[in-house]
Amino acid sequence: MNAIATACSILMAVVLAWAAVAKLSTPLASRRAALERFRLVPRKAILPVAVSLPFLELAAAFFLLIPRLWMPVHIGLGLMFGVFTTIVLREIIAGRSLECGCFGEARGSPPRVFLLRNLGLILICGVGATYAPARLPMVDALFGAFLAPIWLLSSVLAKHLVSGDLQGHRQS
């Protein structure tokens, strides 16, 4: 097994588990409020995302412990972090606070710290995917069922980011 891919996978698993546990220890109302403030998802999706995101993070952390799944997990997470980073840039440009609640109760982060953290996560995912061991085609096919919600969420966020319409979040 490659030491670089192992280190990237363990680091990402710890980060995701930490974020998931922090979110789960935060009241659902606070998670919903953070999503509303940060305008991450359309209004109708706020509750399902607030409920499911910590469990998706825990699942991704678990799957990062299985070497044959490293490449697709790192790629999926890298795409998701890329979308979130783009949204962070949009918030910075608009002059809004960055209280996303990524690690539990929403706390403002200096924009530079927020961006560097997200770019670091994308880099770790890229390196982890690059050095991941070969996979079995059947594993990839079955694993697509797990990655589908992450890719779907990322594509929905990207669509709304590009269109500038976050259903109910328009600024007047």
Q: Where are the alpha helices (DSSP H) in the chain?
A: 3-24, 28-38, 46-63, 70-94, 111-130, 137-163
Number of domains in the chain: 1
| Residue 171 in domain | no
Which residues of the chain are modeled with pLDDT < 50?
Answer: 165-172
pTM of the shown model: 0.72
| Residue 169 in domain | no
SS3 163: helix
How far is Cα 114 from Cα 101, in angstroms, rounded to an integer? 12
pLDDT at 138: 57
pLDDT at 141: 56
Residue indicated by tokens 């890229």: 126
pLDDT at 9: 95
How far is Cα 30 from Cα 51, in angstroms, rounded to an integer? 11
| Residue 170 in domain | no
Domain span at 151? 3-162
How far is Cα 94 from Cα 91, in angstroms, rounded to an integer? 5
